[in-house]
Amino acid sequence: MGQITPPSPDLLALFLHIAQCNGARENVEPKAKDLPKWRRILPSLASGALAGACAKTVIAPLDRCKINFQVSTTRRYSFREAIKFVIRTYQKDGFFALYRGNSATMARVVPYAAIQFAAHEEYKRLLRVDRDGKPTHGRRYVSGSLAAITSTTITYPLDTAKACLSVSDKTIYPNLRSVFKIEYQRHGFWIFYRGLGPTLLGVVPYAGSSFFTYETLKLLYKEEFKTKPGPIISMLMGSFAGLVGQSSSYPLDIVRRRMQTGRVPANQGVIKTLMDIARTEGIVRGWYKGLSMNWVKGPIAVGITFTTYDHVVIFFRRLIQG
């Protein structure tokens, strides 16, 4: 076995050198474009669903904590206060209270992730991303953004229901079904799409940046070592992609949560909401409330999601090919 050439001192080369030393192996998979349409889409749907479910289950307690700070206009966020919230919730209602709203999360994230990854593969094919080996960075960004817009629009009512469950106790909404029943009777169907505007504005930079960063890192890795990254390196790449995506769209996530949970007037727009938050809570403490929690949970979730998807989809494609 030949000696590994020392890497150049830049961070990316060091990162890739560590991966090579760990012996990341190339996974030989059937090319999606060579498969019939249903055989191309089904593995992406199944793998995306599993990847999303795994990631969201891991970070569910952190997600509930973050949402409760996001929707509050008076509660000041700090990492210490976040830990106190988790401890108080556990002491008052038990361990599973930390997972309140997770049923709604699963009901949303399974179809969301399935649709997002399947749509992403199809948009990449339609836009001819990396055709003939030529870099197409703009199309890579657009394919990620379009996939997120598609999946977000389809599953948005479930996200609204999840937010309502996360900030309420059992006496108001006992379960996911009760959220839909009560809110539909009070406000009608379109209440479940409240906040969709800022959400779509947010998912374009978030998903576009995440998919673009992850796919670009994979491409750089493959060009350097002529092999696919292993699970650990894939997770590190996904984590970095998640960090980039989360930071680029966080203020719009604050607006979305407040609209979903009725913390702002029904006819109030995105700009007015952002201005009100800045005036009453400040830009840093208001627009970026809970961002440090996102820096913990976001990269973990995105890293798990991309890694699980990339490795499970190979298994499903091989299974379908027989």
Taking only the tens place, the pLDDT of each residue in 13-27 is 444 444 444 444 444
pLDDT of residue 4: 42
Contacts 24+ apart (CB under 8 A), 154-157: 154/111, 154/112, 154/115, 155/108, 155/111, 155/112, 155/115, 156/192, 156/193, 156/196, 156/199, 157/192, 157/193
If you average pLDDT over residues 231-248, what whole number do you get? 86
Question: What is the distance in angstroms between the CA of the first residue and the CA of the last residue of the chain?
Answer: 34
What domains appear along the chain, each with residue ranges and CATH number?
Answer: 29-321 (1.50.40.10)
Q: Provide the percentage of residues in the chain whose pLDDT is more than 70.
A: 87
pLDDT of residue 12: 43
pLDDT of residue 201: 83
Q: With b meaning 16 or more CB within 10 Å and e meaning fewer, what string describes 5-42? A: eebeeeeeeebbbebbeeebeeeebeebeebeeeebbb
Q: 105 and 162 in contact (C-beta within 8 Å)?
A: yes
Mean pLDDT of the chain: 82
If you average pLDDT over residues 151-156, what whole number do you get? 93
If you average pLDDT over residues 143-160, what whole number do you get? 92
Residue whose C-alpha is closest to residue 120's, from 54, 214, 217? 214
Which of 57-66, 97-106, 302-311 is predicted with the least confidence, judged by mean pLDDT?
A: 97-106
